[in-house]
Amino acid sequence: MGAVVAAALAASLAGCSSTGGKRAEERAKAAAGRPAVSTPRWTFAMITHAGDGDTFWDIVQKGAKEAAAKDNINFVYSHDDQGQAQAQLVQNAIDQRVDGIIVSLAKPEALKDVVGKAVKAGIPVVTVNSGAEQSRAYGALTHIGQDEGIAGEAVGTELTARGRTKAICVLHESGNVGHEQRCAGARKTFGGAMENLYVEGTNMPSVQAAIQAKLQADPGVDAVVTLGAPFAATAVKAKEGAGSKAEVDTFDLNPAVLQGLKSGGLGFAVDQQPYLQGYEAVDLLWLYRYNANVLGGGKPVLTGPQIVTKDQAAQLEEYIRRVTR
């Protein structure tokens, strides 16, 4: 299912009732800025591992805020890319007695105790994006996101199909288990050789220099895989600076990535549908608070992966414009 179709389908399903007229009425209310439900105005807090300026999380927030508007939710967002600092933000939400918590588990050990405290305090928790393996064990209702290992395997398979033989997987956030899983999955199914390259993701000039130096030192590298959309353009600059012919591929979408796909500057991207992650996380918490509903049966609710190539890029442009503006 395409990203634009899935996002639209999730929005329509989340707000539907048994009659077409009622659905139209609810959509009209939400569009007018009024909630489509009459439940209490609960407060949900989302706390993620996002670093400053990470546009991926802007899209997650977009989905969460639109679901919150529909569900009469007071949505509060905070983030920190350091595990202990993120844990403190979760503790703050517990102390404020929020009605639900959405949290990413990129550094799961740092969050384990505080997630347990939230559950013990009677606050329902949904994990999002990272931490599918730990989510249930930590007491969360469910996990929303893509399976990072499976997403990586899709990348390895695609690289092999494209005839690539030597790749580097660029990890931009130290200690992020999801990033390690992506690269490990890609290595598992890739028919060639793949090496991890660790970079300082908060310093783009440093990222560019590290990729460029690697490509200059090893002309045999014919593929560079970045793990976030903002790093794809930097990898292209590094490739050009090194005089390399390597193909640059990436996880996640933004307008620049779509333009790169259309122009041929990028080979392919992996879409995990961040809008859907944010939207469904809020909607599932609302469903639980309202009617004790839980989706997934203890298994993650998957939002990806979807391989996006030049052929699909034009189709997704309107979706990306809408969720990033």
pLDDT-derived band at 36, boundaries 50, 70, 90:
confident
**One domain for residues 219 and 111:** no
Domain residues for the domain of 289 are 3-146+273-294
**One domain for residues 97 and 170:** no
% of the chain with per-residue pLDDT over 90: 81
Per the confidence metrics, is the pTM higher than 0.75? yes
| Distance in angstroms (rounded) separating the CA atoms of residues 258 and 94 | 39
CB-based contact 63:275 (threshold 8 Å): yes
Q: What is the pLDDT of residues 242-256, one digit of tens each?
A: 999 999 999 999 999
CATH code (residue 191) = 3.40.50.2300
**One domain for residues 262 and 277:** no
| Distance in angstroms (rounded) separating the CA atoms of residues 52 and 45 | 18
Mean pLDDT of the chain: 90
In a domain, 316, yes or no: no
**One domain for residues 290 and 258:** no
**One domain for residues 158 and 126:** no
Return the pLDDT at 12. Answer: 37
Q: Mean pLDDT across the stretch 72-89?
A: 97
Cα within 13 Å of Cα(86), Cβ side? 25
**Could you write out the DSSP letters of every residue in 112-147?**
HHHHHHHHHTT--EEEESS-HHHHTTTT-SEEEE--
**One domain for residues 117 and 63:** yes
**One domain for residues 95 and 157:** no
